[in-house]
Structure 1
Amino acid sequence: MIKGFAAALIAALALAGGAVAQDNAHDPVLLRFAVLGDAEPKPCALFPGVEAAVVDVNALAESGRIDFVVGVGDIAHKGTGIQYENVTPALQSLTRPFYPIMGNEEHNDTVERYLEFARQWNPDITEPSYVRDPGPVVMVHASPDFGRDFNDDGIDWIVEQIAAAAPRPVFLVVHAAQAGVYPEDADKGVQNPRFQEVVGQANLAAVISGDLHMDMDRTVHSRQIGHVHYLHIPALERTKIPDETHHTPMYRVFTVLEGGEVRVDTYETGNLEPLSRHDYSFTLPQ
């Protein structure tokens, strides 16, 4: 089913002119990557939202540019084998490298089980947390140590990676931002008070997180607190906030331009034009 829709979507993008390709007329694109949000479907281990997003991302990569794809955790509900197994064909069909982290759902089973499947999605994933240097920014992918939270060793590791990258800007990928960032569910998130040391790092540009399953049309999904930009990634299979009455699968694409501008576009699956109502942009720290 995934391959069946790809050709049609690629053709649609070409006819539309392609929002991705239009960047060539402006500042040169240094980096572009897609971010997929939570999945963990229930009650059935079916992944139509993930499958549709993969088709779209592959089409964007074919007709424009996608350098890699990021996952913010909670792929497998309760970390069950059937969820891991059922989502794997979709993630393996991505035509660009996939870089996931764990969420609280994966912590319902072992780290070893998560890594067993993560290696099937990308053989380079050998640890739950890791650092990547794709060029204009350093990416710190930090899986929670337990649930959605970090112990002090985890905080130390994140701070060390951000500090080591200085003065270059860092994008931090976590499953959950610190509690209080999103007032829509202010009590949910990282509780370790030392996370303030993380967001206090001067070269931390953005925190990219999921977890809350927020409806992009009924919440404030992107905001700046201090010098840090917080970008929520919507869930692909289930919406929870502000309620569960309406779900539209969406994903986000980050574009870093030569002048230091970062544009964050939001796409609804099945539509290869970004939704202008969810536009967000900021400038990397100098």
Structure 2
Amino acid sequence: MANRFLARVAATLLAFLPATGAAFAQDGAIDSVSVRFAVLGDAEPKPCALFPGVEAAVRDVNALAETGQIDFVLGVGDLAHKGTEIQYENVTPALQSLTRPFYPIMGNEEHGDTVERYLEFAGQWNPDVTEVSYTLEAGPLTLVMASPDFSRQFNDESIDWILEQVRGAAPRPVFLVVHAAQMGVYPDSPDKGVENPRFLEIVAEPNLAAVISGDLHMDMDRVVHSRQIEHVHYLHIPGLERTKVPDETSHTPMFRVFTVFDSGEVQVDTFETGNPESLARHEYRFSLLQ
């Protein structure tokens, strides 16, 4: 299957685990951080290939990393509008300035040009990224990084590949990182998402804990951005350069940070660029043990 081979990156991530970071569990015991990572959302600015939101988010992530709070950074696709070379070139300096490893996937915008062009630039952001879809082992988690085959869609072969990774990771919990979740997940944009009905086979797997996605460019203050459907938690990553849902009247660049504790508790924090404190109104918590 072209550009759909397993690329497993494990040992290198362990070197970036923080030496500090803890919270108090409900019984009063210290609950140490197992792994913490940031996730950057869509960019694809237009009409000009300028990336102030991405640049600001990178500065903030690097500042968090200086305190030992970030192990690596994920990207959910749609960095380069229509996959044009000028967009790739202009976003690259910011992504290369990240002080923690950056692991991206493709979005529908990257499919505006070739997979080869995407991989050329992804290799400049992180030489370890040599395939469009791959898995990462991070603390207690397996992260399945799944790029779409076209637009935001998956064909059956890719559904089979994702299922193989999720089932092969069991009993480890899996976070699936995709550009778009299945249609209907987010009530503010229910008609946009993965259309292949077999995606439901993936979310039915008992060890799939979360689906992390972007694509919709939702305004975190005016939409449902984090929710649980059956046993799976769906977390939206907002766009850094443009907001589309529910409309384009207001845009605030934000990114999210996932903290997994030794107890299995997961905390998802949202940061507005330029603000070192997370936004309490957007905090979301769940347990890997449920």
TM-score, length basis structure 1: 0.92
**Which amino acid in the other structure matches residue 23 of structure 1?**
A
Residue 210 of structure 1: aligned partner: 214
In the alignment, which of 175, 178, 183 is matched to residue 182 of structure 2?
Answer: 178
The reply to whether residue 155 of structure 1 matches residue 159 of structure 2 is yes
Q: How does 1:74-223 map to 2 (within 5 A)?
A: 74-223=78-227
- C-alpha RMSD over aligned residues: 1.0
Where in structure 1 do 4 or more consecutive aligned residues deviate above 4 Å? none
Instruction: State the shift of 1:251 in Å.
Output: 0.1
User: Is this contact kept in 1: 2:21–2:33, CA < 8 A?
Assistant: no
Deviations 1:95-139 (A, max 9, x none): 000000000000010000000000000000000000111121000
Deviations 1:72-116 (A, max 9, x none): 000000000000000000000000000000000000100000000
**Which amino acid in the other structure matches residue 210 of structure 2?**
A
Instruction: State the shift of 1:64 in Å.
Output: 3.3
User: Is this contact kept in 1: 2:44–2:87, CA < 8 A?
Assistant: yes
In the alignment, which of 48, 55, 58 is matched to residue 51 of structure 1?
Answer: 55
For residues 149 and 139 of structure 2, the distance between their equivalents in structure 1, rounded to whole angstroms, comes to 28
TM-score, length basis structure 2: 0.90
Residue 23 of structure 1: aligned partner: 22
User: Is this contact kept in 2: 1:75–1:84, CA < 8 A?
Assistant: yes
**Which amino acid in the other structure matches residue 270 of structure 1?**
G
The reply to whether residue 238 of structure 1 matches residue 242 of structure 2 is yes
User: Is this contact kept in 1: 2:53–2:241, CA < 8 A?
Assistant: yes
Residue 224 of structure 1: aligned partner: 228
Task: Tell me the secondary structure at the aligned position of residue 28 of structure 1.
Answer: strand
**Which amino acid in the other structure matches residue 205 of structure 1?**
A
Alignment: residue pair count: 266
For residues 254 and 23 of structure 1, the distance between their equivalents in structure 2, rounded to whole angstroms, comes to 14
Q: Return 5+ residue gaps in structure 1 as ranges.
A: 1-20
For residues 216 and 90 of structure 1, the distance between their equivalents in structure 2, rounded to whole angstroms, comes to 24
Task: Tell me the secondary structure at the aligned position of residue 160 of structure 1.
Answer: helix
Q: Return 5+ residue gaps in structure 2 as ranges.
A: 1-19, 25-29
User: Is this contact kept in 1: 2:56–2:274, CA < 8 A?
Assistant: yes
Instruction: State the shift of 1:23 in Å.
Output: 2.9
For residues 90 and 109 of structure 2, the distance between their equivalents in structure 1, rounded to whole angstroms, comes to 16
